């Protein structure tokens, strides 16, 4: 799965239309809880996956220094319709900012699970770590696969989830262990066919964060609030 393939996921008119309409939906209950508990006026916040503008629209005018990046130019353009953040097109795996300049780095909805390959996800976490001020927080929206997901209509639309698993098995049998990880799949959501890595348990997620040098401060229904170990 290349960067281009992820960008392509977010240029289809159906998807752009969905995010345009969703821009004023506001934050979820746990996002409100997290921002109220951790964000303070004048703090600098980097939102990764800022495209679509939902979080920027909800957080503007609250006295934060808001910065956003997104891989998709088209999704970034939707966000530009809301004044209130400094936006750029960039990948979570290669963030174009100076070290130690943010109080918070936040991987928004789905972004972390859309980074293909553990190696790339570790790179993204370590990149975020370098950008955080000494007492900064990293927040990652990342939910493990649950029976709720596998029994939802969304899961049933996964084209050939079983076929994907067989492909992974075939690659492994051929000795190509890095081709795909168990948990990698493609889902169709809001008209977007996208890559998604499903972690199997909260423990698996936590271990990945720990491997990059973070400790978990709190987990609010899938929003992981992390600090790095100094």
- Residues forming contacts to ligand SAM in the complex (CB under 6 A) are 6, 10, 19, 22, 48-52, 54-55, 69-72, 75, 91-93, 108-111, 114-115
**Half-sphere exposure (CA, 13 Å, Cβ side) for 149?**
12
| Nearest CB to ligand SAM, comparing residues 7 and 172 | 7
CB of 195 to ligand SAM, least distance (A): 9
Residue 118, phi then psi, degrees to nearest 5:
-60, -35
| Nearest CB to ligand SAM, comparing residues 89 and 145 | 89
CB of 120 to ligand SAM, least distance (A): 8
| Nearest CB to ligand SAM, comparing residues 12 and 22 | 22
- Identify whether the C-beta of residue 14 lies closer than 8 Å to the C-beta of residue 80: no
CB of 7 to ligand SAM, least distance (A): 7
Could you give the CA distance from residue 44 to residue 58 in angstroms, rounded to a whole number? 16
| Nearest CB to ligand SAM, comparing residues 92 and 205 | 92
| Nearest CB to ligand SAM, comparing residues 77 and 172 | 77
What value, to the nearest 5°, has the Cα angle with vertex 92 and ends 188 and 132? 140
| Nearest CB to ligand SAM, comparing residues 52 and 136 | 52
CB of 173 to ligand SAM, least distance (A): 30
Could you give the CA distance from residue 166 to residue 86 in angstroms, rounded to a whole number? 43
CB of 156 to ligand SAM, least distance (A): 20
Could you give the CA distance from residue 224 to residue 216 in angstroms, rounded to a whole number? 7
Q: How many of the other CB atoms lie within 10 Å of CB of 85?
A: 23
CB of 145 to ligand SAM, least distance (A): 17
């Amino acid at each position: 799965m290349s960067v281009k393939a992820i960008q392509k996921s977010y240029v289809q008119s159906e998807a752009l239309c969905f995010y345009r309409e969703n821009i004023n939906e506001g934050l979820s209950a746990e996002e409100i809880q997290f921002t109220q508990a951790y964000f303070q006026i004048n703090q600098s916040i980097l939102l990764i996956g800022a495209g679509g503008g939902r979080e920027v629209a909800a957080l503007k005018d609250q006295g934060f220094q808001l910065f956003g990046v997104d891989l998709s130019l088209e999704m970034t353009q939707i966000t530009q319709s809301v004044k209130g953040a400094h936006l750029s097109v960039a990948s979570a795996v290669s963030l174009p900012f100076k070290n130690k300049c943010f109080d918070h780095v936040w991987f928004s909805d789905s972004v972390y699970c859309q980074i293909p390959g553990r190696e790339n996800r570790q790179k993204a976490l370590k990149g975020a770590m370098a950008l955080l001020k000494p007492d900064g927080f990293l927040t990652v929206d990342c939910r493990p696969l649950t029976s709720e997901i596998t029994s939802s209509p969304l899961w049933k639309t996964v084209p050939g989830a079983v076929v994907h698993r067989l492909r992974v098995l075939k690659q492994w049998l051929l000795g190509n262990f890095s081709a795909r990880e168990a948990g990698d799949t493609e889902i169709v959501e809001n008209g977007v066919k996208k890559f998604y890595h499903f972690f199997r348990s909260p423990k698996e997620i936590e271990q990945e964060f720990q491997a990059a040098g973070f400790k978990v401060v709190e987990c609010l229904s899938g929003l992981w609030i992390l600090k790095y170990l100094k």
